[in-house]
Amino acid sequence: MGTLKHGLFLLCFCMFGTVSSQEEETITWSADRKLQWSDFKGTYFKTHWAAATTASGVSYSFSSFKKDGQIYLDFVVKSEFIPGKSWYRPEVCDSVILSHEQLHFDISELYARKMRERLSEAQFTMNAKKEVKVIYKTILKELNDFQNKYDRETNFSQDLEKQILWNQQIKTALK
């Protein structure tokens, strides 16, 4: 059984990630910690076409100061998983689907890294808040598009050959 196209959850989390992360339990991405089914604490939708969904995305915060006429920014960018908005149907889920869901979280981490890189390369003006928001919105769109491509190409984990290829591709990208 395939996984639910989680783009809506992803997009909602990403758009409101900074606020959500302050109000809800989150798990920050770590190479040493893989998701377990026990992390999925949300209530699943009563549907036959979805096995699980992962609510994950990128959040950020920053502070700024001006010195010698130049703007300096300090960023914290995270990839986060929201247990309360992530769910699964135990009767249809297995290790393949969990691996698929983990990869959604791993992809969020890739885009957190892309955001850190873009922020480090950017030159900011006195409109830094707006400029950072533009970078963030661009990252969110790219992340959402990439997540949807992943689901399409793997047929929500049902195409095992493609799933293995994606697993290898993302593992390599995270090194």
CB neighbourhood size of 51 (10 A): 25
Beta-strand (E) ranges in the chain? 27-28, 52-53, 56-67, 70-81, 87-88
Chain centroid offset of residue 49 CA: 22
Per-residue model confidence as pLDDT tens digits over 120-136 = 999 888 888 999 999 99
Q: Give CA–CA dist 143/132, Å, rounded.
A: 16
d(CA 140, CA 145): 8
pLDDT attached to residue 22: 54
* Per-residue tokens: 130: 């707006």
Span 82-113, pLDDT tens digits: 999 999 999 999 999 999 999 999 999 999 99
Task: Using alpha carbons, select from 167, 140, 151 the residue that is nearest to residue 4.
Answer: 151
The rounded average pLDDT for each run of 10 residues, N- to C-terminus, in the chain (175 residues) is 37 38 84 98 82 96 85 92 96 95 98 97 90 97 98 96 97 96
